[in-house]
Amino acid sequence: MALPGLDQLPELLALLQEAAPALGQGAAYTLAFAVAAMLGGLLIGFPVAVLRILPWRLLRWPAAVYVSLMRGTPLLVQMFVIYYGLPSIGIEFAPLTAGVLALSLNAGAYLSESLRGAILSIAKGQWAASFSLGLGYGQTLRHVVLPQALRVAVPSMSNTLISLIKDTSLVSVITVTELMLSTKEAIATSFRPLPLYLAAAAIYWALSLLFEALQGVAERRLNRAHRQP
């Protein structure tokens, strides 16, 4: 006896084959947005992390407010404020720029906490030893502390990138083409939401697995010098 729905398999395969080019293009855009936002988040997150560990409160509190604001409000609201709200005061961005900016600002807050935690995990004796050798604060941070902190921060930073891959689906609300918007457009012409949404979910999963594998490679390389002989 034939399995229920097995006779619909050729039709589903034809639907997926027809939608594959649009979904593939959307996946490429999703990947590009995630990487761009990750780079932007690192450019923001690193100085914010450094500011948060400085001994001067006047420099620490603006960074702390930024982190609290970005982590305490939904990314979707942040995107709406940037794309729909800022034009009312004369600041306007193209949809693509607004989407990448919102993702970068949001990721920067989380990455700054990952980096800050990793920096603080380095023993204070490392700082004292560097200062005794005549290195300044900046030199110690750059040459002694950050190389060790990066190894500690890689897992949480990789998790942020994987989250960014999924968060890019939100840029579809400001008409930026990516995987979710491409899926919606395919559904609008085929009226078959379930298989196409499942296909989109499978692509997001595959991208996440790819970056999990890259995370493992990075961790092994960074931990190579710390392995027992």
Q: How confident is the model at residue 5 (pLDDT cuts 50, 70, 90)?
A: low
**What gap in Å lies between CA 192 and CA 85, rounded to an integer?**
35
CA 130 to chain centre: 33
- The mean per-residue pLDDT over the stretch 96-123 comes to 91
Q: How confident is the model at residue 113 (pLDDT cuts 50, 70, 90)?
A: very high
Integer angstrom CA distances of residue 104 from 60, 70, 168, 177, 218: 20, 10, 11, 18, 22
What residues contact residue 27 under an 8 Å CB cut-off, 6+ apart? 179, 203, 207
With 60 as the cut, is the pLDDT of residue 108 above it? yes
Closest CA to 115 of 48, 189, 37: 48
What residues contact residue 184 under an 8 Å CB cut-off, 6+ apart? 172
Residue 2 confidence (pLDDT): 43
Residue 57 confidence (pLDDT): 84
Per-residue pLDDT tens digits for 12-44: 888 888 999 999 999 998 988 888 998 999 999
Residue 7 confidence (pLDDT): 67
Higher-pLDDT residue of 226 and 176 is: 176
